[in-house]
Amino acid sequence: MTIALNSPVVPKLSKLTRYLEQINESGHFTNFGPLHHELTRRLEAYLGVKNLLLISNGTLALQVVYKTLGITSAITTPFSFVATTSSLLWQGIDTQFCDIDRNTYNLSPEKVREAIKRDPKVNGIIATHVYGNPCDVEEFSRLASNNNVKVVYDAAHAFGIKVGDKSVLNYGDASILSFHATKVFHTIEGGAIVFKRKEDYEKAKQLINFAICKGEVTDVGINAKLNEYQCAVGLTVLDDIDEILTHRADLFALYKECLNDIVELPKWHSSANTNGAYFPICLGSEAELSRVAEELSKRNIQYRPYFKPSLDSVFSDVKADILDISRDISNRVLCLPLHYNLSRADVIEVSAAVKRGMSCPVQ
Ligand X SMILES: Cc1ncc(COP(=O)(O)O)c(C=O)c1O
Return the residue of 85, 178, 187, 274 that touches ligand X, per CB under 6 A.
178
**Residue 180 interacting with ligand X (CB under 6 A):** yes
Return the residue of 40, 76, 77, 84 that touches ligand X, per CB under 6 A.
84
Shortest spacing between CB 361 and ligand X, in angstroms:
36
Torsion, Cα of 45, 48, 53, 58 (10° steps)? -120
Buried b (16+ CB within 10 A) or exposed e, 312-347: beebeebebbebebbbbbbbbbbbbbbbbebeeebb
Helices marked H in 319-359 — which ranges?
324-332, 344-359
**Residue 80 interacting with ligand X (CB under 6 A):** yes
* From 17-25, 151-159, 212-220, 229-237, span contacting ligand X (CB under 6 A): 151-159
Q: How far apart are CA 196 and CA 65, in angstroms?
A: 11
Return the residue of 128, 230, 236, 275 that touches ligand X, per CB under 6 A.
128
The gap from C-alpha 311 to its chain's centroid, in whole angstroms, comes to: 16
* From 51-59, 119-127, 133-141, 199-207, span contacting ligand X (CB under 6 A): 51-59
**Residue 63 interacting with ligand X (CB under 6 A):** no
Residues in contact with ligand X, counted by CB under 6 A, come to a total of: 14
User: In terms of CB distance, is 153 or 358 closer to ligand X?
Assistant: 153
Return the residue of 35, 40, 47, 59 that touches ligand X, per CB under 6 A.
59
**Residue 336 interacting with ligand X (CB under 6 A):** no
Shortest spacing between CB 112 and ligand X, in angstroms:
18
Closest CA to 137 of 98, 176, 163: 163
Is residue 308 within 8 Å of 331, Cβ to Cβ? yes
**Residue 57 interacting with ligand X (CB under 6 A):** yes
Closest CA to 308 of 345, 333, 280: 333
Encoded amino acid at 243, one letter: E
Q: What is the DSSP string of 227-290?
A: PHHHHHHHHHHHTTHHHHHHHHHHHHHHHHHHHTTTSB-PPPPTTB----S-EEEE-SSHHHHH
User: In terms of CB distance, is 83 or 296 closer to ligand X?
Assistant: 83
Strand boundaries in 191-230, DSSP class E: 191-195, 212-213, 216-217
User: In terms of CB distance, is 51 or 128 closer to ligand X?
Assistant: 128
Torsion, Cα of 49, 50, 55, 57 (10° steps)? -20
Return the residue of 3, 115, 149, 156 that touches ligand X, per CB under 6 A.
156
* From 150-158, 216-224, 264-272, 320-328, span contacting ligand X (CB under 6 A): 150-158
User: In terms of CB distance, is 58 or 266 closer to ligand X?
Assistant: 58
User: In terms of CB distance, is 192 or 354 closer to ligand X?
Assistant: 192
**Residue 191 interacting with ligand X (CB under 6 A):** yes
How far CA 170 is from CA of 52, 185, 257, 295, in Å, comes to 11, 18, 31, 41
**Cβ-closest residue to ligand X?**
58
User: In terms of CB distance, is 112 or 126 closer to ligand X?
Assistant: 126
Is residue 82 within 8 Å of 311, Cβ to Cβ? yes
258-277 positions binding ligand X, by CB under 6 A? none
Shortest spacing between CB 82 and ligand X, in angstroms:
8
**Residue 58 interacting with ligand X (CB under 6 A):** yes
Output the CA torsion sign for 225, 90, 131, 134: negative
User: In terms of CB distance, is 51 or 84 closer to ligand X?
Assistant: 84
Q: Is 265 left (phi over 0), alpha (psi -120 to 50) or beta?
A: beta
Q: How far apart are CA 318 and CA 98, in angstroms?
A: 11
**Residue 326 interacting with ligand X (CB under 6 A):** no
Is residue 241 within 8 Å of 185, Cβ to Cβ? yes
**Residue 68 interacting with ligand X (CB under 6 A):** no
**Residue 351 interacting with ligand X (CB under 6 A):** no
User: In terms of CB distance, is 57 or 68 closer to ligand X?
Assistant: 57
Provide the binding-site residues for ligand X, judged by CB under 6 A: 57-59, 80-81, 83-84, 128, 154, 156-157, 178, 180, 191
